[in-house]
Structure 1
């Protein structure tokens, strides 16, 4: 088995396999894998009606869920297990669903250890709740947005962005990072998220069939932007959301407007994981997720 490194040319080959599955985790779309390929050294193998994705984490090779029809999944998982054995590597899965954990426990008792990865759980929200922010639980969010609308009345504009705006987006990230004490040594050449965003922007012509980029201008200066796409017919996925933290109400406003304007008909929104970062977890919980995409690491016992 020869695995190809994921690059922008892989999109055309892999997209049909992403369409085979209805996984809800953020890892299971091309843009996510491409954006973080430089971190996880992600590669893929195309088989008969399936695709296998592998990567590397802390020096160990791992696989995520294969891209295959549900009825073929047990067969393809067996294929992946044999691959690890042939390569003389310990079996290692990341981003595995509870359903597949149960399957592995039943078919291969005592063979694996299962680790619940709370820091990697994706936050799933009811789209209508994000758009309308109704009820007492969302009162603070509504207050922040109302403050923003009043304070900046006539001065702000929500806008779908294109290539001509991407330099402004990158400048916003650098400006935001340089203003944070903990980011005093920010280096755009080594910051993994920054590099990932640049990749999406550089190859936007190829990715624009899926991804959407929107921003908020205040007094004609970009102060917030966000990147997302449709993950499956029921769900939007928000990859990136950046805003000037000194402008009250800007984060909840772009969050709300992105869903209203670009993902009007989805039922759910995936806003990815919190990585165990306390501030990020607090922010994501403040929007009241309706559930999580639970993820598990599976290792050979």
Structure 2
């Protein structure tokens, strides 16, 4: 299973290997956004199948970026790893800020999903050569502002910034704060984060520069090259120097954008003034990103159904089952073949009489799993569980029968009925199962109603498809 570590500046060199070649053209696929907004995103990462997998935790919810493919990487393997982590941990699978051109691939991959595509999420994407030239009638407004700025400040010139301790930067921030009149918490936070980002310009991860006029910095910009896109993370200019913004945009694109076809000036944060300004620079496109909430076939169920076989009935668990169900779950000798120790999830919590019953109900309420009570003449003698979805039309299935009812074929009968229902009524594409290699009775049971699909050091694996 994926093992995540916190994403911080300490891993910047490792992460930039992925981001510097990433061609998604979205600002979220950059080291700068992850570092600058880490207090909101709470990002962590893992490497799998030659890909960078970033997991964010936003307002308590885990969401994943689309995998960033490294040299020779396998995005299919990375997506499978994300799906397996979500299934194993019972976490809803949410892929956030997915590049629009990846949506068809995911739409064909997942049978059930919900897509959200909001206008405020879109990044403003410009052709770098157009920003560097501002040529033609449509850019006359920008040229007029720049010409006025250069008339007012004839000594104005662009200068690269490479030293975070450059005294000109410290002086700029003092001047900027003196003119800064926004009091909203987001604006104040963004200013503090911008200053922190400029402290990293000596790392080689970012490119920075500013406009000098009258011997001081009057505008600054920090960007990051990701694939063929120059992602502008920060643009600041003194309000007292009209025209400094467009002059900076043009000079920065001209100096740093030669090997980048695109310039991404990020989204507008739902700010009306910022949106107006970004549109005035005539973006070539609004770079779209979508949120995909992946579901499973269990989402369509309103309740656990009842199934009947020749001898058995499979039903939802009932409160009256609590003593027998708890005894089934507490049978350590039997459950060593189940492959799950309840103590792992229980931790330091008290083991109540209703713990296992409540847990099964909670799993179905969240549509993480479905538990059938296996009944013989109305009495609970075992359970069949559909669990661990692969989010692509498959679930794993398990079965356990109380020891006093073993050896009569009840497990095979219940397991086969549940698998058939899952395939032909629930609508799954596949049901999979596994058993320990030492568990010969389970192997025979699975082989009687499924086909072998492989083995590893620990398990025999089986599969049943439509």
Q: What TM-score comes out, normalization by structure 2 length?
A: 0.58
Q: Work out the CA distance in 2 between the residues paired with 1:16 and 1:121.
A: 25
Q: Residue 289 of structure 1 aligns with which residue?
A: 283
1:255 Cα deviation from its structure 2 partner:
0.6
Q: Residue 202 of structure 1 aligns with which residue?
A: 199
Cα distance change on mapping 1:279 and 1:24 into 2, 3 Å: same
* Offset from partner CA, 1:189-211 (integer Å, 9 cap, x none): x94323432332333332xx231
Q: Work out the CA distance in 2 between the residues paired with 1:4 and 1:195.
A: 25
Cα distance change on mapping 1:20 and 1:141 into 2, 3 Å: closer
Q: Residue 157 of structure 1 aligns with which residue?
A: 157
Q: Residue 240 of structure 1 aligns with which residue?
A: 234
List alignment gaps of at least 5 residues for structure 2. 296-466
1:264 maps to 2:258: yes
Q: Residue 220 of structure 1 aligns with which residue?
A: 215
Cα distance change on mapping 1:77 and 1:191 into 2, 3 Å: farther
1:76 maps to 2:78: yes
Cα distance change on mapping 1:295 and 1:184 into 2, 3 Å: closer
Cα distance change on mapping 1:15 and 1:50 into 2, 3 Å: same
Q: Residue 34 of structure 2 aligns with which residue?
A: 33
1:127 Cα deviation from its structure 2 partner:
1.6
Q: Residue 175 of structure 1 aligns with which residue?
A: 178
Q: Work out the CA distance in 2 between the residues paired with 1:149 and 1:193.
A: 29
| Other structure's SS at 1:274 match | coil
Q: Residue 385 of structure 2 aligns with which residue?
A: none
List alignment gaps of at least 5 residues for structure 1. none
* Offset from partner CA, 1:99-150 (integer Å, 9 cap, x none): 32212221212x2110113212111111221122122211111111111111
Which has the higher Rg, Structure 1 or Structure 2? 2
1:212 Cα deviation from its structure 2 partner:
1.6
Compare relative contact order (CA 8 Å, sep 6+) and give the higher one, 1 or 2.
1
1:271 Cα deviation from its structure 2 partner:
1.0
1:20 Cα deviation from its structure 2 partner:
5.3
* Offset from partner CA, 1:27-79 (integer Å, 9 cap, x none): 11222212221221111012241221011112211111112259722331122
| Other structure's SS at 1:16 match | helix
The number of aligned residues is: 290
- The answer (yes or no) to whether the contact 2:16–2:205 under 8 Å persists in 1 is no
Cα distance change on mapping 1:262 and 1:100 into 2, 3 Å: closer
Q: Residue 64 of structure 1 aligns with which residue?
A: 65
| Other structure's SS at 2:239 match | coil
Q: Residue 129 of structure 1 aligns with which residue?
A: 130
Q: Work out the CA distance in 2 between the residues paired with 1:238 and 1:88.
A: 37
| Other structure's SS at 2:91 match | coil
| Other structure's SS at 1:266 match | coil
Cα distance change on mapping 1:45 and 1:193 into 2, 3 Å: same
Q: What TM-score comes out, normalization by structure 1 length?
A: 0.88
Deviates more, 1:160-169 or 1:21-30: 160-169
